[in-house]
Amino acid sequence: APLFMHSVSDFWRRWHLTFSRWIRDYIYIPLGGSRVPEYRNYINLVITFFLGGLWHGASYTFVLWGILTGIMLSAESFAFRRGWKEWPDSLHGRALRILITYIVFLPSTVFFFGKGLPWCLAAVAQMFAFDFGAEVPATINTLAYGIAGTFFFHLVDEWPERFTALRKYDRWLLPLGSAALILAMTQFAGPGKDFFYFQF
């Protein structure tokens, strides 16, 4: 699931696999992929996602989303080559990587789903100022549920012996927990919208 992403590249390995594989096979690899000098690899990433943004629509917001995604992947590749991936593979190390990925990745999604460039720039400014206005329930609750769920499953994975006693109740805990999560998300969700990709 994309919510368990440890990095931006990990997100793209989990999300929209058809699109990810298509731009990899038909744009990124023909450009030389990663089998080129380091600086050329970064250029290839930006070009690939720039064209991926245009594929979604010929607007400034999609183009900026593509360029920002390419820059993020380039910066991440730069960091990975210099040891960032060497962080301890522990609960704290994974949780920190997830948190950093959310902080870096979420602002770019504003440009993908935004209502125009001025709106997107204002929304990003509000995010960094922690001023969410009337959109607090939809924005904060979605993020909070994602982080809480991710952290819980990491706890279960890291210390399975701590949760052994609960396994005999899993036939009741799983449906009750799922129902509670769905109820909370519907209770605090914003106004409904059509599925994004219906417009393509």
Catalytic residues: 56
Can you say how many angstroms the Cα of residue 56 is from the centroid of all Cα atoms in its chain? 18
| Lookup: tokens for 173 | 């805990």
Tokens for 16, please give them.
Answer: 């929209």
Calpha distance 30→115 (Å, rounded): 33
Rounded Cα–Cα distance for residues 104 and 57 (Å): 23
With 0-12 / 13-18 / 19 or more C-beta atoms within 10 angstroms meaning exposed / middle / buried, residue 18 is exposed
